[in-house]
Amino acid sequence: MNFTFDTELDSFREQVRDFVRSHLPEHIGRRMRQKSFAPDDLHTAEWHGILAKKGWSVPAWPEEYGGTGWSALKQFVFNDECAALDAPVFPWGPRDMVGPVIYTFGSDYLKETYLPMIREGRYYWCQGFSEPGSGSDLASLRTTAVRDGDRYRVNGQKIWTSGAAVARYGFFLVKTDTRCKPQQGISFLIIDMKAPGVTVRPIAQIDGDDHLCEVFLDDVEVPLENLVGEEGKGWTYAKYLLDHERTGSSYIFWNKRELAKAREIAESEHRCGQPVMAMEPFRRRFAGVEAELTALEWSVLRELAGEKTRWNATAVASSLKVRGAQLQQKITDLQMEALGRKGLRYIAPEEMVDFPATALWPDYFVGKSSVALITRAATIYGGTVQIQRSLIARLAFGV
Amino acid sequence: MDFNLSEEQQLLVDSATRFMADHYTLEGRRRHLEQGSAFNSERWQRIADMGWLMLNVPEELGGLESPFVDTCLLMRCLGKTLCWEPVLTSGVWAASILARLSDSPAAGDALTAIAGGELRVAGLWSGFDSETGVDFPISANVDGRGNWHLSGQVPMVVDGPTADTLLVPAVAEESGEPLLLLVDIDGKGVMLDRYVLIDGTPAADIRFAGCTVPPAGCIATGEDVRTLLDVAADRARLACIAEAVGIMEACLDLTADYIKNRRQFGQPIGNFQALQHTLADMFIAAHESTSMLFYGLSKLESSAGERGAAISAAMLVVDRALKEITEQGIQLHGGYGVTDEYAISHYHKRGLVLRQWLGSADFHCDRFMSERH
């Protein structure tokens, strides 16, 4: 056993730090410091393009498709540094989901058509999995794709499709066979969001944003070659993704950066004549959260370093997801507590860009309450924490 | 970074697991407690024969001087089966102090004897009220011939009644200098008020009055003594965390097993989601405690501040996890959870001891925050 990073990784960390410091445009960093989630707009694309030129935009991919060949720990260091320096986090849909499915299961046509544009970050992609009647019970989805000559005709409705309004493409789970067992009739389809019959309706959110969307698919024609892999294997591919990417749902980098912001706020804001950070009850809560975050980070490192445990690997991944989601909420809670009444002031999403900072309303105040509100979703999306607990009980203990 | 056991480490774990299964069963534990936690030197010699008391002893003194992670792997096995021998007190904590006193012949002799199983040493730790967690409540007065006369008392010396020798941090009355002394427990002027802790561990309030220690018994002096004790206390804390992780893993297995077999309403109670989710939360807490063990180990050789913050953060996580896992473990056992016959109650009581022994959660929270902020 060995619990330290290789020295090679330490020098790599320096290298990444230097690169991000000298290449991340200031206006993008500022937006990330204010609001925590990468805006699905030109700023993310701009940063993605900068990394693509350096060859660092899709580190985890195989080298033949533009990946870096870095070890999992090296990727950890890369992502850790990028987040710490306020670089936008990539939309994980294209990079971590549809990309890997295409290069693992897709045809040469799909690889040649889509992998370069994903690598270069040219467009935003959305993920069409959930439906109004299929949330946690995803396999019950009802959107159909019926073959009609050289194309599918797709009909149905998706919901919680983040960023669908600005997405150029989407990857969808659809039913190509309604007669067999639910999981077996599902296929993985790439849909052009500008195709006739695709209607997107943004959903007004709790935080004033409207990033989540409903997508209506009304007789949408999709070329057969946009089927990824084989018909009826979509469920397998979706599960492959979950197995492939076990640590992403811990949101470890986001959590670390946001805790640092919580600290900054608590050290700057005063109450009863002292910094919030000096107040005993707050300090205690902060200590508990920080210790838990350290545990999460080390759980991620164990996973990335390939620890073999006696426990089912999916159960372990679920435990990272549960803690990661809980921590997102605990950390935004700390930010809100530290802001006190200031957290109540509403800033509309469009005001957040170029918000004029003052001594009373500093940069760190912007966007925090919006993020705290939408972060209530952290324990819901991607399989609720209750679903994860049921999974753990079944996979780790067979109950 | 590598979180997998080496071949040697796997051998250590395998042999410890086998040994524990053979010698430290729940029935054995209950018999031991019925007999007032009486010490059995044959059993102790068997432990010594396994080589476990050599792990923290330098090679030149007949030890193995293993990386500390090996000690933690062993303690995890001991935790799983609730081994009640004073391995942590003597073989880890006291040995970790003595091993850093290579100049003292008395310390060297004691270490060799610890490694061979001939000597058990318990330290007088008074309760971690100071900033670093090490206090000096005993005062020592030196006479013309260099003998030290001790006075003062320390409550609740864990494993005190089964020790042969006490490791006593004291303050020299005239100079105010910290000292470290080895004191024969059967010597004149050493008084023990013996009792057992909630989990059956023997302990004693120890008082010195008219106790004289020859010059050779003073094995260290000066400010280095504090550093020495701080480092050793943190090593003991990591060993305690490892023991706690072992307890947690055992509780997961016990509890999962119980809810799969216990039937109510015509089905195993494990079918009920409320119980499944509680078990899942216990699993998550155990997993993160293991992560904190590794994190703590990664900082053991760092600066004092960094080491202290890391290990206290780990103790904080482990404190909560032990509470959650053993308490919910009892809950899921229903009425049987509060009986002596079921192991879960024993794990809970050991957990209570581990959560206080080397500093309470409040102590560790303060230490973590003051080092980090």
Q: What is the CATH number of the domain that holds B168?
A: 2.40.110.10
Of A46, A221, A225, A245, the active-site residue reads A245
The answer, yes or no, to whether residue A38 has pLDDT greater than 60, is no
Interface test with A, best of B4, B72, B291, B298 (most A CBs within 10 A): B291
**pLDDT for residue B126:** 67
As a whole number, mean pLDDT of residues B37-46 equals: 96
Whether residue B94 is found in the same domain as residue B155: no
Residues B104 and B143 in one domain: no
| Chain A residues with CB-CB distance to B256 below 8 A | 396-399
B366: pLDDT strictly greater than 80: yes
Please report the pLDDT score of residue A88 as a whole number: 87
- Lowest mean pLDDT of B13-17, B182-186, B361-365, name the range: B361-365
Q: Which residues of B touch A396 (CB under 8 A)?
A: 256, 280, 283
Residue B177 lies in a domain: yes
Same domain, B58 and B87: yes
Partner-chain residue, chosen from A3, A316, A397, that has the shortest CB–CB distance to B298:
A3
State the average pLDDT over residues A344-368.
89
pLDDT at A9 > cutoff 60: yes
Per the structure, how many domains does chain B have?
3
Across the interface, whether the CB atoms of B283 and A394 are under 8 A apart is answered no
Residue partners of A273: CB distance under 8 A and separation at least 6:
none
Q: Which residue in the set A307, A316, A397 is minimally distant from B4, CB to CB?
A: A307
Report if residue B285 sits inside a domain: yes
Which candidate, B115, B136, B112, places its Cα nearest to that of B126?
A: B136
Co-location of B229 and B317 in the same domain: yes
Contact B1 A296 (CB under 8 A): no
Tokens 């080895």 found at: B182
Cβ within 8 Å, pair A393-B279: yes
Q: Which of A174-178, A351-355, B29-33, B146-150 is predicted with the least confidence, judged by mean pLDDT?
A: A351-355
Whole-angstrom Cα Rg for chain B: 21
CA angle B176, B177, B179 (to 5 degrees): 125
Task: Name which of B273, B314, B373 is nearest A277 (Cβ-Cβ).
Answer: B373
B233 and B367 assigned to the same domain: yes
- Which residue among B95, B119, B143 closes a domain? B119
- Work out the mean pLDDT of chain A and round it to a whole number: 93
Cβ–Cβ gap A288/B365 under 8 Å: yes
- pLDDT given at position A111: 98
Q: Is A245 a catalytic residue?
A: yes
Q: What is the pLDDT at residue A355? A: 86
Quick one: B243 and B346 in the same domain?
yes
B353/B249 same-domain check: yes
Which amino acid does the sequence have at A62? P
Residues of chain A contacting residue B368, judged by C-beta atoms under 8 Å apart: 287, 290-291
pLDDT of A178: 87
Q: What is the pLDDT of residue A350?
A: 83
Domain membership flag for residue B1: no
Average pLDDT (B215-226) is 94
> What whole-number distance in Å separates Cα of residue A349 and Cα of residue A332?
18
For the segment B270-290, the average pLDDT, to the nearest whole number, is 98
Work out the pLDDT band at A33, boundaries 50, 70, 90: confident
Radius of gyration of chain A (CA): 22
Q: Shortest CB distance from A295 goes to which of B4, B291, B365?
A: B291
Could A298 and B277 be called an inter-chain contact, meaning their C-beta atoms sit closer than 8 Å? no
Backbone angles phi, psi at B309, to 5 degrees: -65, -45
Question: What pLDDT is attached to residue A368?
Answer: 94
Query: What is the spatial distance between Cα B289 and Cα A191, in angstroms, rounded to a whole number?
Result: 44
Q: Which residue of B has its CA nearest to A293?
A: B288
Cα A265 from Cα A374, distance rounded (Å): 19
Q: Would you say residue A370 has pLDDT above 80?
A: yes
Structure confidence at residue B136 (pLDDT): 82
Name the nearest CA neighbour of B68 among A302, A303, A1.
Answer: A1
Nearest CA in chain A to B321: A292
CATH number of the domain where residue B103 is located: 1.10.540.10
- Taking CA atoms, what residue in A is nearest to B300? A3
**Closest in B1, B256, B288 to A3, CB measured:** B1
Q: Is the pLDDT of residue B281 over 80?
A: yes
Same domain as B130, residue B74: no
Contacts 24+ apart (CB under 8 A), B14-19: B15/B50, B16/B50, B16/B52, B16/B73, B16/B74, B16/B77, B16/B78, B17/B77, B17/B80, B19/B46, B19/B50
Does residue B205 lie in a domain region? yes
Residue B310 lies in a domain: yes
3-state secondary structure of A188: strand
Q: Which of B196, B222, B248 is the last residue of a domain?
A: B222
* Chain A residues within 8 A of B320 when measuring between CB atoms: 288
| B130 pLDDT more than 60 | no
pLDDT in tens, A107-138: 999 999 999 999 998 898 999 999 999 988 88
Residues B177, B212 within the same domain:
yes
Domains and their CATH numbers in chain A: 7-90 (no CATH), 125-233 (2.40.110.10), 246-397 (1.20.140.10)
Restricting to B residues 77-136, those with a Cβ less than 8 Å away from any Cβ of A are none
Residues B241 and B356 in one domain: yes
Which of B:254-313 have CB within 8 Å of A?
A: 256, 259-260, 268, 270-271, 273, 275-277, 279-281, 283-284, 287-292, 294-295, 297-298, 310, 313
pLDDT at B133 over 80: no
Please check whether residues B132 and B69 belong to one and the same domain.
no
List pLDDT tens digits, range A183-233: 889 999 999 999 999 999 999 999 998 989 999 999 999 999 999 999 999
C-alpha separations of B35 from A8, B28, B88, B162 in Å = 57, 11, 22, 14
Hey, which residues does B171 pair with through a beta bridge?
B139, B178
Q: Answer yes or no: do B113 and B135 share one domain.
A: no
Residue reference for tokens 């039913």: A175
Domain assignment of residue B283, given as a range? 225-372
Tell me the percentage of chain B whose pLDDT exceeds 70. 97
What is the spatial distance between Cα A209 and Cα A369, in angstroms, rounded to a whole number? Answer: 12
The CATH number linked to B352 is 1.20.140.10
| ipTM reported for the complex surpasses 0.85 | yes
Inter-chain CB proximity B368 and A291 less than 8 Å: yes
B9 in contact with A at a CB cutoff of 8 Å? yes
CB pairs under 8 A between A and B: 142
Of A2, A311, A389, nearest to B2 by CB-CB distance is A2
The band of A245, judged by pLDDT with boundaries at 50, 70 and 90, is confident
Looking at chain A, the whole-number percentage of residues with pLDDT higher than 90 is 80
Contact assignment for B298 to A291 by CB distance below 8 Å: no
Q: Tell me the chain A residues in contact with residue B284 when contact means C-beta distances shorter than 8 Å.
A: 319, 322-323, 392
Of B84, B119, B154, which residue sits at a domain end?
B119
